Structure 1
Amino acid sequence: MLAEIQGKISQTGSNLSDRLEDNLTGNVFGALRYIPFSIGFGEVIANGVYPKSIGLDIRSIHQDFWADKINFWPYDREGEIDALIEFEDLIMGIEVKYKSGLSSDDEVSNNIDKQNEADIHNSINQLARESRIIARKGKHKNKLLLFIADRRSCKEVYEDIIARDIIENDVVLGYISWQEILLQLKNLQLTNPFHQIVVQDIISLLTRKGFEDFTTMDIKLCEPINDQDYFKFDIQSTVSISFEANLAISEGFYYEFSR
């Protein structure tokens, strides 16, 4: 609904296939706005984000109503972040991917032959550009850029960008996978029935999108072997072989053998 309100989806829905990420963003975070941050999305991030140190900053946010703190697809000359959340001491940009990769990238790496700040180059990598947006908007606040994608994509993108050192110095890059979000949503302890309905709808959506992990391995093991006991093996069936060797042989006859 939010994606359509913001003009990300045409009135006829003809471009919906091209806007699946925007639709997913609106459906998930638009619904999470109805649950206090501290017991909903904040709890999900704090428990599932990487690096784990980001979770400490998230837990320090004691915010109930936060629908007025989140802005979807705000315009900036360097691009649109999917969601921008501004708290009193923290600004958080969220970039969402469903099945596609980053929209732009290059070969810039500030870890190669960097002697001083003058050698730093601005990358056109999507997350690098968004870190600059957050750096400008955040001013004196703590700054976080959160990347959300499939688990494998999250790790690969994060490690590549950290190795290249293309994120703004005062912006912390973190990630949480859709699989982890789904798992943490299931672990939420919510007593309000309305909140439970909202979360269950999101769980059903993410499950349908194929983000459910194989999390249990229920294997029945045999009794452990006691090396102090002895074991007796019996053969249950036998085979007997008998050869008839009492046939009389007469001289002068011939014998024919057939197969």
Structure 2
Amino acid sequence: MIAEINNKIPSKLSNSEDLLTGNFFGIMRYTNIENTIPCIFEASTFNKAEDKNIFDKAIKSICKTQDPFIFWPKYEENEIDLIIELSEYVIGVEIKYNSGLSSDDEVSNLENNEIQNSCNQLARYSRMLESKYPFKKKVLLFLAKENNASHIYYSVLNRNIISNNVSFGFLSWQEILISLEKYNPSSNELIIINDLIIYLNQKGFDTFKSFITKENISRNSFFKFNFNEKFSFQLKRKTSKLFYKYE
């Protein structure tokens, strides 16, 4: 990771998802994971409150006395990026950087249709978790850039191709960076956390957070903001009778 921060790796490796996975989560293992893992995963989104509750209980059960991380496990021709294996839970994390899913099809299991197995990468991993961990509560988390994470998540969710016994959610790298910046590290974690923040910033995960203006905002006011660089954003609160224009 330090070599990448200092631009000492070949440029062809800069888009490697495996390098990103190993650098970030591999080093995360050396932090107080009972604190850092709940922190970085706190912004994860689940379509069902029940699934979010299962996930929250899972990450709160992480204990520093064991190493729960399994990287790139192979099982029945599947190789998910990361497994977090706990006593009562298992979390599978599929990680993307600049690429999309490696496999997909047009299978969609709508109401009153016969259930079909899809070759979609996330659907396959959900079946893998169900098969390999029949007695654990299972979570599949999709981690990608914010402009891809929610789009891919909802397109897969709406097709009803994820195994019923698997809680399915998503998270963006940008949200991880925001959470990590708010984290209060212990003295033995300080250097590690600072390096991880620098690393995620260098990977391009810094994101637009808010507008700052000294003007009083009112219903009848119009503000125009001009930017020289492209940016992505996500509105998390519904608004009414307000107009926003982004250029």
- Normalising by the smaller structure, the TM-score range is 0.7 to 0.9
Give the partner amino acid of 1:50: T
Partner of 1:196: 190
Provide structure 2 residue ranges, at least 5 long, that are not aligned to the other structure: 2-8, 219-247
CA distance in 2, matches of 1:62, 1:73: 20
Is the Cα–Cα contact under 8 Å of residues 97 and 145 in structure 2 kept in the other structure? Answer: yes
Query: Does residue 147 of structure 1 match 2:142?
Result: yes
Partner SS for 1:40:
helix
Query: Does residue 134 of structure 1 match 2:133?
Result: no
Shift of 1:42: 2.2
Query: Does residue 219 of structure 1 match 2:218?
Result: no
Aligned length: 206
Give the partner amino acid of 1:41: I
TM-score (norm 1): 0.73
Give the partner amino acid of 2:71: F
Is the Cα–Cα contact under 8 Å of residues 110 and 120 in structure 1 kept in the other structure? Answer: yes
CA distance in 2, matches of 1:42, 1:166: 28
Shift of 1:79: 1.7
Shift of 1:223: 11
CA distance in 1, matches of 2:211, 2:201: 19
Partner of 1:63: 63
Highest Rg: 1 or 2?
A: 1
Shift of 1:43: 2.3
> With CA pairs under 8 Å and 6+ residues apart, which has the higher RCO, 1 or 2?
2
Distance 1:185 1:106, change over 3 A: same
Is the Cα–Cα contact under 8 Å of residues 62 and 86 in structure 2 kept in the other structure? Answer: no
Give the partner amino acid of 2:194: Q
Query: Does residue 180 of structure 1 match 2:179?
Result: no
For residues 158-215 of structure 1, give each alpha carbon's deviation from its aligned partner in whole angstroms, at most 9, with x where no partner exists: 111111110111111111100000000111122x222121111111111111111111
Query: Does residue 111 of structure 1 match 2:116?
Result: no
Partner of 2:79: 80
CA distance in 2, matches of 1:14, 1:60: 38
Give the partner amino acid of 2:158: A
CA distance in 1, matches of 2:165, 2:144: 23
Distance 1:223 1:13, change over 3 A: closer
Is the Cα–Cα contact under 8 Å of residues 74 and 83 in structure 1 kept in the other structure? Answer: yes
Percent identity reads 38
Shift of 1:57: 2.0
Partner of 1:6: none
Is the Cα–Cα contact under 8 Å of residues 33 and 66 in structure 1 kept in the other structure? Answer: no
Partner of 1:162: 157
Residue from 2, 20, 27 that aligns with 2:23: 27
Partner of 2:13: 16
Higher mean C-alpha deviation, range 34-43 or range 52-61? 52-61
Distance 1:165 1:23, change over 3 A: same
CA distance in 1, matches of 2:36, 2:202: 21
Partner SS for 2:213:
coil
Distance 1:223 1:99, change over 3 A: closer
Partner SS for 2:19:
helix
Shift of 1:126: 0.3
CA distance in 1, matches of 2:72, 2:59: 25
Provide structure 1 residue ranges, at least 5 long, that are not aligned to the other structure: 2-11, 225-259
Distance 1:111 1:222, change over 3 A: closer
Partner SS for 1:212:
coil
Partner of 2:200: 206
Partner SS for 1:174:
strand
Give the partner amino acid of 1:209: K
Superposed CA RMSD in Å reads 2.3
Distance 1:31 1:214, change over 3 A: same
CA distance in 2, matches of 1:187, 1:223: 27
TM-score (norm 2): 0.77
Is the Cα–Cα contact under 8 Å of residues 131 and 145 in structure 1 kept in the other structure? Answer: yes
Distance 1:58 1:183, change over 3 A: farther
